[in-house]
Structure formats: structure tokens, C-alpha cells
């Protein structure tokens, strides 16, 4: 008799909702093995029995030939007694609870096979906007509970017709156990509505396409929430969206039908094309080609956000419109993404000319993810559909931790069992709808992952809404310094322990001295951080007002350098001298003028001097304008910063930098040249401070983190210089480099025993 073996196999990772059970089934048939497989909790369990050598081949192929969206994090194999009596291999009913770590499957953009069927007139799903298969379709956005099976998703109310059921049950079909499987007979439907009436099915798509072609604004329910869409080639509907959504300047994303169209709007490298096409289908920020679109699509930004269609409905709309479409989330800036038909109808009254709705509920609202790639480095600007929830290895989590992140660009992180799970972007928590979405998401993640937090982490800012939420949970609490969390987020994602030289440059974060930090060099590991250097502090005249009006910051820096009101008024001829006097008075009186070492504010000041930027309507606007200018210049020298030591901490002084800038400005230098010199000056000073710290401490690794490093010009100039000096440079890649990464950093620090208890 041949050598018969029976193996028990446990696979954890992204193995649900990615066609893993069908994959296992096919392999078992190929190697003539009997047994069974089932989803168990968030993982997969199986047993196979057959010839010993076939078992070995099966295990090899199991991982090597896994479907592309799958990620195997752990594979456990044990040999057990070969006394199974199965004749064949079967998929058996899922087990609700499992002892293995759970992972939540993420949404996957439409695959090529489904796309072909969608556009094939002979196919039974021709033009059907909910087509999907094991390799594509919604996942997280429709999941209510795990294990991931249809009855625990918002597809539950749609009963499979005979044809769909046959595919679902047929192990050689590519829709075998595709949970959202659907067709025009049995699945969800789109309905179009406007003030004149309504249409359903394919008529709805045609009616919606007509609205777009007429230069009107269409509200579309997609995978993660509602978008407003209009022709990107027509400035009028774009203008309407901007005015009515009160979004005067923030660039709007554009959906294009293919890569060649993307390349027409922005410069597209091979790496960027890969990002565009990837299963996550994010918005990719490309360097914009001037004149390719009306100016009001991207406003003053040097980048254009481009994405490919990821839901079948997008493909159909692009087929109808035949032009690139502005595709922007329909919610007001800072508010949570709209997921509900009724809410969309109410919120978008007067903005949308037509509504394309459907009857499948969005369970977990997700914005589109936003990524950027430059000079070999990819960064995430926003984590959303396709990327969230992200699972990262996080050893040392003894008690489950809920980390509440930061208030702006809020995300949550739930860590347990050696893994951290980072939520989608949840908006700005000063908006109370965002706060309720935040609460909901905390509960949902806890249910999905079957983890009850025992420890809560939050920012050390006493007035953050997320801090108040953390306190309200009545659990042991750890407060984590904001910039340490930025650095720890990168260390966690890149799985390094430290110590590192952490350079955290951002808009603002609470410092232990009560000042607003944001231009920091920290010597840190995962548990502790020491401030080793920082940008010299300056008062922020008017507090928050100084963020909205960048010239106020310029007045603050220039006053600190000893320049008087009249000299400053000369630099800003377009600003009322009385306003400048008012700000100078605030500075002199020290009223409502908190001290800050923020690099974001330094960018604001320089931007207002270089380009006269008077006000900004979204965070980072002045800096983005300066970056765009810097990209237009050749490398032309760097402005100098000087270093002084105060009580063992290095202060980076901007005096010489401003003096050189003002000299350039007086001499009529090109704004692009001034912008470039400022960027390169910062890159140089990051290098020189990091060198100093390396000489003192012997640390060779630098982490660059914080929202300022969304700036690709600065990031690559800095990383390039540091690498040339022999440093190893670490940045976040799939977790946001800005405040969206704070929750992961908090979890990592608390998992390592860091953070301070509530006092």
C-alpha cells in the first residue's frame, strides 16, 4: 500500500474573499487529495489526505500559486492520523469563531476577466454594474461580520438565481464561492433619479451618462460611498461643485479610462502605472501636465490626482461619457463619506443634477486611497478603499490595544495577537458626524476582529476629541507624544526596532513643554523618545488664524529677526498695512500667540513671501504651491540654516535663511528658484543635524515622517542626501506618512511598553 498521509493545515492572512477556498479545492483535485476546507473566524482551516508526495506538492502550491490578492501571513501544518473517510474534497460550512488571528479582506478593483464580460454583448452580465468574481469586487465595504460569507454581508438580501448559484457551487468556476456573486436577474440594481423622473437597470446608466455628457453634475453611489462626477474637460460643472461644496482650491481627482489617458494628464512613470493598475486602484498623484485640463480641476496644485475605474459602474459611465471625469467624494470637506441613499438625496440637493443610486448597502464607508510615487519611493497620503483595514505585524502586544490616532486625518488602530489593524481614513474629528463614524468603526473593527480592547492609546494633546473619546472608554490609558508616534508608525510598518534618528516634520502636535511641536529630531526606539533637535520656536500670531493666513507666520518670523512693521509692509504690498500692524501688536503683546517649532508653519511663511499666498482654504495648500514651484526649478543652491546648542538640544535657526530669501526677493529672483533653494536648504539642514546626531550617538538609520514629507520634492531631496551619506532612510509606504499613521505609531509604542499613564 502507498504511503497515505493526512495533514491539518491552518492558513491565516488575507485568505477570505480572495478565492482561496476555490484555489484549495482546485489543488486538491489536481493532487487527488480528499478532505475539507472551511473559513474559521478570519482564517482558513483544512485537512487533506492522500499520497505523501502529493501532500508535499499540495503544500508547495498552496502558497506559491495563491490567488494574487491573497496574503499568507502564517501557515501551520501538522500531520494527523489518516483515518478520514472522505471520497473527495469539499468546502464545508464556516466556523464563526476560530483561534487564529483574523484578517479583514479589502476591496479589490474589477479584474480583466470581469471587465471583458461586462463589455461583451453576448455575456449574460453585459452592462451589469455589479459583476464580480473571486478575484475582484467589494469586500470590507459590504462585510458586517466574519467569517466572510454572503449571509454576513449586505449581499444577504439578494438570493442567488439558479445560474448564479450554479457558478457559486461549481468548484471549477471562477465565481466558486464569490460571495458578492450577482447578475441582472438576482442581484442589486442601479436606479437613476432626477427632478423629472427615474429609470432603472441599463436605462439608469444611459440616463446618468447623458447627464454627464450635458456638462451636469451626477451623484453616484460607488463601492465605498458617494461621489460627485462631472466632465473633467468642462470648467462649468467643476466650478459648480467647487462653489456648492465650498471647496475653492483643493484639487479634485479625475477618473480616466486607461493609462494612456492618465499619461496625457500627468507624467506617468512605470511605477506610477503599476500603482494605478493595482488591485487597490488608488488615486495616484501625478506631476500635472499644464493645459491638459481646465485650470479649476487642480487649482494651483502641481499634481493631478488620477485613478482608473474600479467599480463596474465607473467603466460603464466612462463608456457613456468618453471623456475623463472629475470624481470627488460627495461629502463636505472634513465630513465622513456619504454611504446612504437618503442622506445623499438630502445632502446633495442643489449640487447634483441627477442621482445614480443602488439598493446594496455600504456597511463600512471608505474614501478612495491616495498615493504618491517619486524617485523610487511610494507614500500613502490617505488610507481608504482597497488598502484598509491594513494588517501589519506588531509583536509584543500582550493586551489588545485600541489606538485612537490624531484628530485631523483620523484613523484607528486595533492591535492584538501580534498584529495591528489600521482603519480607513475617518475624517476630521472636529466634525461630529466624523466622530460618530469613528465610534462606529471602533466597534465594528472590534467585532470583526473578535478583539475587545483592554488598553487604550491616544495623543498627549489634552484637547483632542480622540483623547476625550479614549478617556470615555474607562480603560487603562496611555498618552503618546505625537511626533514619537509619527516615527514609530514608520518603524512598525518597516519592522525595525531602533534606535533611530526620527525626523518628524508636520503642521502641529502637542509637545511635553506645552508648545506646538512640528520640526523635530527625536532619538527614539519604540518605547522612548528624546528631543535632540528642533526648528527654533516662533509665536503663531492669532493661533489657528495663522494657519489660514500664512502671511501672519511670515510677519512672526520676520519680527523675530528684528524687522520692523514698515519693512515687513514693503514685502507684502498686497496686504493692508493696518492688518500687519495688528499682527505685530499680537506678537508684541504675546496674546493668543502660542510658540511653535512647526515646519508646516515655516513652509507657510516662505510660501507667502515667495508667491504672496494670502490665505489657504485647505491644510498644506501654501506648501503644495511652494513644492510645485520648486519642481519647476533646476537645483540652484540652498538657503543656509544655522545650528546652535541650547542645553544639549540643537536649535535650527532660520535667520540666515530668511535673510538670503529676502535678498533674492529684492533682487527679483524667480519664485521657482527661491522655492527650490528653500527646499534644498531644508534637505541640507536635515542632513547636517542627522550627521551630528550620528557622530554623537552612532545611529545610522533616519526615519522621515509627518505631513510635511508628503512633499515629494523635499522627501526625495532629503532621502537622497542622507543615503549619499550612508544613512539608511525609512519612511512609511502603505500607512499614511501624515497624521493618518498616528494610530499605528501609538499602538506600536504602547505595545513596546511606552506612553505615559493618565496623570
Binding site for Fe ion (CB under 5 A): 506, 509, 739
Nearest to Fe ion of 498, 509 (CB atom): 509
Q: Which is nearer to Zn ion, 31 or 140 (CB)?
A: 140
Distance CA 623, CA 613 (A): 10
Q: Which residues contact 447 (CB under 8 A, 6 or more apart)?
A: 145
Beta carbons of 422 and 743 less than 8 angstroms apart: yes
Q: Which is nearer to Zn ion, 18 or 241 (CB)?
A: 18
Decide: is 114 part of the binding site for Zn ion (CB under 5 A).
Answer: yes
Question: H or E stretch including 295?
Answer: helix 295-298
**Under 8 Å between Cβ of 678 and 708:** no
Report the alpha-carbon distance of residue 283 to residue 328 in Å, rounded. Answer: 10
Q: Quick check: 262 binds Zn ion (CB under 5 A)?
A: no
Examine residue 149 and say whether the peptide bond preceding it is cis (omega within 30 degrees of 0).
no
Residue 506 interacting partner from Fe ion, Zn ion, none (CB closer than 5 to 8 Å by kind):
Fe ion
Phi, psi torsion values for 212, nearest 5 degrees = -60, -50
Q: Which does 164 bind (CB under 5 to 8 A by kind): Fe ion, Zn ion, none?
A: Zn ion
Residue 484 in contact with residue 745, Cβ under 8 Å? yes
Q: What number of chain residues touch Zn ion (CB under 5 A)?
A: 10
Cα(321)–Cα(58) distance, integer angstroms: 48
Q: How far is the CB of 270 from Zn ion (least distance, A)?
A: 24
161 binds Zn ion (CB under 5 A): yes
**The one segment of 26-34, 113-121, 190-198, 353-361 that binds Zn ion by CB under 5 A:** 113-121
Quick check: 133 binds Zn ion (CB under 5 A)?
A: yes
Residue 345 binds to Zn ion (criterion: CB under 5 A)? no
Nearest residue to 368 (alpha-carbon basis) of 205, 226, 190: 226
Name which position in 65, 68, 185, 243 contacts Zn ion (CB under 5 A): 185
Question: Which of the choices Zn ion, Fe ion, none does residue 183 contact, using the CB cut-off of 5 to 8 A by kind?
Answer: Zn ion
Minimum Å gap between C-beta 322 and Fe ion is 42
- Is 18 a binder of Zn ion (CB under 5 A)? no
Contacts of residue 350, Cβ cutoff 8 Å, sequence gap at least 6: 244
The answer to the question of residue 186 lying near Zn ion (CB under 5 A) is yes
Least Å distance, CB 512 to Fe ion, is 15
Helix (H) / strand (E) containing 68: none
- Select from 103-111, 476-484, 577-585, 591-599 the region that touches Zn ion (CB under 5 A): 103-111
Q: Which residues of 124-161 are buried (b: 16+ CB within 10 A; e: fewer)?
A: ebebbbbbbbbbbbbbbbbbeebbbbbebbbbeebebe
**Candidate list 43, 70, 111, 554; residue touching Zn ion; CB under 5 A:** 111
Q: Could you give the CA distance from residue 525 to residue 754 in angstroms, rounded to a whole number?
A: 10
Angstrom CA distances, 30 to 11, 24, 55, 79, 83, stand at 19, 10, 11, 20, 21
Q: How far is CA 630 from its chain centroid?
A: 25
44 binds Zn ion (CB under 5 A): no
**Cβ closest to Fe ion, residue 251 vs residue 509:** 509
- Provide the minimum distance between the beta carbon of 58 and Fe ion in the complex, in angstroms, as a whole number: 48
In the complex, least distance from residue 500 CB atom to Fe ion, rounded to whole angstroms: 17
Q: Please, what is the minimum distance in Å from the beta carbon of residue 148 to Fe ion?
A: 34
Output 164 or 683, the one with its CB closest to Zn ion.
Answer: 164
91 binds Zn ion (CB under 5 A): no
Is 136 a binding residue for Zn ion by CB under 5 A? The answer is yes
Distance CA 8, CA 96 (A): 19
Is residue 457 near Zn ion by the rule CB under 5 A? Answer: no
Q: Kindly state whether residue 315 participates in binding Zn ion, applying the rule CB under 5 A.
A: no
Q: Mark residue 729 as left, alpha or beta (left: phi above 0; alpha: psi -120 to 50; beta: remaining).
A: beta
CB of 171 to Fe ion, least distance (A): 49
Measured from the CB atom, the residue of 125 and 437 that comes closer to Zn ion is 125
Q: What is the nearest approach in angstroms of Zn ion to the Cβ of residue 281? A: 13
**Residue 739 interacting partner from Fe ion, Zn ion, none (CB closer than 5 to 8 Å by kind):** Fe ion
Under rule CB under 5 A, residue 183 binds Zn ion: yes
**Shortest distance, position 111 Cβ to Zn ion, whole Å:** 3
Q: CB-wise, 222 or 509, nearer to Fe ion?
A: 509
The nearest distance, CB 225 to Zn ion, in angstroms, is 21
Q: Residues 6 or more apart from 656 whose CB is under 8 A from it?
A: 639, 640, 641, 642
d(CA 552, CA 548): 9
Residues that bind Zn ion (CB under 5 A): 111, 114, 133, 135-136, 161, 164, 183, 185-186
Amino acid at each position: 500500500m502507498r504511503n497515505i498521509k493526512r495533514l491539518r493545515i491552518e492558513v491565516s492572512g488575507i485568505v477570505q474573499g480572495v478565492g482561496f477556498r476555490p484555489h484549495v479545492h482546485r489543488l486538491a483535485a489536481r493532487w487527488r487529495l480528499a478532505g475539507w476546507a472551511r473559513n474559521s473566524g478570519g482564517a482558513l482551516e483544512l485537512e487533506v489526505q492522500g499520497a505523501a508526495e502529493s501532500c508535499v506538492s499540495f503544500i508547495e502550491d498552496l502558497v506559491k500559486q495563491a490567488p494574487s490578492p491573497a496574503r499568507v501571513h502564517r501557515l501551520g501544518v501538522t500531520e494527523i492520523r489518516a483515518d478520514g473517510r472522505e471520497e473527495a474534497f469539499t468546502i464545508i460550512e464556516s466556523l464563526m469563531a476560530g483561534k487564529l488571528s483574523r484578517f479583514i479582506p479589502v476591496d479589490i478593483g474589477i479584474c480583466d476577466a470581469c471587465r471583458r464580460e461586462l463589455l461583451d454583448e453576448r455575456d449574460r452580465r453585459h452592462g451589469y454594474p455589479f459583476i464580480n468574481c473571486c478575484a475582484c469586487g467589494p469586500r470590507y465595504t459590504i462585510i458586517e461580520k466574519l467569517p466572510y460569507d454572503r449571509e454576513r454581508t449586505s449581499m444577504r438580501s439578494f438570493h442567488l438565481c439558479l445560474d448564479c448559484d450554479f457558478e457559486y457551487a461549481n468548484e471549477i468556476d471562477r465565481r466558486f464561492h464569490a460571495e458578492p456573486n450577482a447578475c441582472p436577474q438576482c442581484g442589486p440594481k442601479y436606479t437613476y433619479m432626477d427632478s423629472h423622473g427615474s429609470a432603472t437597470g441599463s436605462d439608469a446608466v444611459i440616463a446618468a451618462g447623458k447627464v454627464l455628457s450635458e456638462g451636469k453634475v451626477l451623484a453616484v453611489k460607488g463601492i465605498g460611498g458617494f461621489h460627485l462626477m462631472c466632465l473633467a474637460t468642462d470648467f462649468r460643472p467643476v466650478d459648480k461643485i467647487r462653489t456648492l461644496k465650498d471647496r475653492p482650491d483643493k484639487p479634485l481627482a479625475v477618473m480616466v479610462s486607461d493609462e494612456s489617458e492618465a499619461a496625457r494628464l500627468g507624467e506617468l512613470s512605470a511605477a506610477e502605472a503599476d500603482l494605478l493598475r493595482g488591485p487597490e486602484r488608488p488615486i495616484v498623484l501625478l506631476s500635472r501636465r499644464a493645459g491638459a485640463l481646465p485650470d479649476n480641476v487642480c487649482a494651483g496644485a502641481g499634481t493631478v490626482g488620477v485613478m482608473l475605474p474600479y467599480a463596474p459602474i465607473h467603466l460603464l459611465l466612462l463608456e457613456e461619457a468618453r471623456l475623463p471625469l472629475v470624481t470627488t467624494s460627495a461629502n463636505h470637506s472634513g465630513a465622513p463619506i456619504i454611504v446612504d441613499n437618503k442622506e445623499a438625496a438630502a445632502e446633495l440637493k442643489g449640487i447634483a443634477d441627477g442621482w445614480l443610486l443602488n439598493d446594496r448597502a455600504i456597511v463600512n464607508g471608505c474614501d478612495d486611497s491616495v498615493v504618491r510615487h517619486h524617485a523610487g519611493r511610494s507614500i500613502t497620503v490617505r488610507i481608504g478603499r482597497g488598502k484598509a483595514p491594513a494588517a501589519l505585524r506588531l509583536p509584543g502586544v500582550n493586551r489588545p490595544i485600541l489606538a485612537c490616532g490624531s484628530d485631523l486625518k483620523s484613523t484607528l488602530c486595533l492591535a492584538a495577537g501580534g498584529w495591528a489593524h489600521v482603519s480607513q481614513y475617518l475624517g476630521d474629528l472636529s466634525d461630529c458626524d466624523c466622530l460618530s463614524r469613528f465610534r462606529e468603526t471602533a466597534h465594528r473593527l472590534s467585532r470583526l476582529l473578535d478583539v475587545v480592547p483592554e488598553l487604550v492609546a491616544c495623543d498627549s494633546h489634552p484637547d483632542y476629541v480622540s483623547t476625550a473619546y479614549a478617556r470615555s472608554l474607562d480603560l487603562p490609558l496611555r498618552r503618546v507624544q505625537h511626533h514619537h508616534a509619527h516615527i514609530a508608525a514608520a518603524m512598525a510598518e518597516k519592522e525595525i526596532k531602533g534606535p533611530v534618528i526620527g525626523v518628524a516634520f508636520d503642521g502641529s502636535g502637542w509637545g511635553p513643554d506645552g508648545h506646538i511641536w512640528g520640526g523635530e529630531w527625536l532619538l527614539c526606539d519604540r518605547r522612548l523618545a528624546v528631543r535632540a533637535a528642533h526648528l527654533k520656536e516662533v509665536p503663531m500670531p492669532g493661533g489657528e488664524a495663522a494657519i489660514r493666513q500664512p502671511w501672519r507666520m511670515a510677519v512672526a518670523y520676520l519680527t523675530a529677526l528684528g524687522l520692523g512693521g514698515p519693512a515687513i509692509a514693503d514685502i507684502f504690498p498686497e496686504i493692508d498695512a493696518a492688518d500687519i500692524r495688528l499682527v505685530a501688536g499680537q506678537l508684541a503683546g504675546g496674546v493668543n500667540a502660542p510658540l511653535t517649532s512647526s515646519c508646516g508653519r515655516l513652509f507657510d511663511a516662505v510660501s507667502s513671501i515667495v508667491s504672496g499666498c494670502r490665505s489657504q482654504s485647505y491644510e498644506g495648500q501654501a506648501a503644495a504651491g511652494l513644492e510645485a514651484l520648486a519642481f519647476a526649478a533646476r537645483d540652484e543652491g540652498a538657503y543656509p540654516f544655522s545650528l546652535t546648542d541650547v542645553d544639549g538640544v540643537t536649535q535650527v535657526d532660520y535667520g540666515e535663511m530668511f535673510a538670503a530669501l529676502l535678498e533674492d526677493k529684492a533682487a527679483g529672483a524667480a519664485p521657482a528658484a527661491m522655492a527650490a533653494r528653500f527646499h534644498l536648504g531644508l534637505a541640507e539642514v536635515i542632513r547636517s543635524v542627522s550627521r551630528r546626531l550620528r557622530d554623537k550617538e552612532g545611529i545610522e538609520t533616519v526615519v522621515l515622517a509627518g505631513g510635511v514629507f508628503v512633499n515629494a520634492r523635499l522627501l526625495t531631496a532629503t532621502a537622497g542626501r542622507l543615503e549619499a551619506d550612508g544613512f539608511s532612510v525609512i519612511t512609511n509606504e502603505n500607512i499614511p506618512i501624515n497624521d493618518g499613521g498616528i494610530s499605528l505609531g501609538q499602538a506600536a509604542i504602547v505595545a513596546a511598553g511606552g506612553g505615559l499613564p493618565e496623570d
